[in-house]
Structure 1
Amino acid sequence: MTFANVGTLGAEPGRRDELAAHLSRRSDVLAGAGCLVYEVGVNDDDPDTVYVMELWVSADAHRASLSLPEVRESIAVARPMLSGEFGGFRFDVVGSPLRD
């Protein structure tokens, strides 16, 4: 069952675009780990927030990806750009009007 993880990441003041650029760098590792979609966005009404929408083949695939060396390194690089404010939600996808 497809797993969705949608969240907000608070960025240190002035570092939102740097964080967004880091998170949106090409990663073949994510695709190989079962990530179907990883979209990074910003909204000028919220200048210190980065939005991330992920779709994974399963919650287990998402969880397992967090132990990959490349993912752990990316998190370590991003950590100084983060303010510590996080939000979001997770859910199992049950369907879509765009596919059978």
Structure 2
Amino acid sequence: MYGLIGRMLIAPGQRDAVIAILREGTGGMPGCRSYVVARDPTDADALWITEVWDSQDHHRASLALPAVQAAIAKARPHITGFGERFETEPVGGVGL
């Protein structure tokens, strides 16, 4: 499995809009075991995205899906940058 944890920085006041966009545009991604969008409790303008995939290739392929491309395009004006990014190798857990 392939895991990715990343911090997304959002324009002030736009975090809930980006959450809605990501939740709407990320369903039905082949090979995705878990995709979690979470508010950063210490920064009102940041999100954490935690992903678990069957493989890194599945993750790469998801970026070409029309729904994912549309979500990226819609959210892009509200994203001001990215913070920490960690790749992991999940070995199991609830829901996996």
Normalised by the shorter chain, which TM-score bucket? 0.7 to 0.9
* CA RMSD, Structure 1 to Structure 2 (Å): 2.0
Partners of 1:91 and 1:28 in 2: CA distance? 22
Q: 1:46 to 1:92 in 2, by over 3 A?
A: same
Letter in 1 for 2:32: C
State the shift of 1:90 in Å.
Answer: 0.8
Q: Percent identity?
A: 34
Contact 2:25 2:71 in 1 (8 A): no
Deviations 1:33-63 (A, max 9, x none): 1111011110332111011111001000001
The structure with more radius of gyration: 1
Contact 1:29 1:70 in 2 (8 A): no
Between Structure 1 and Structure 2, how many residues are aligned? Answer: 95
1:46 aligns with 2:43: yes
1:60 aligns with 2:60: no
Partners of 1:21 and 1:40 in 2: CA distance? 10
Contact 2:21 2:75 in 1 (8 A): yes
Contact 2:25 2:70 in 1 (8 A): no
Partners of 1:28 and 1:45 in 2: CA distance? 27
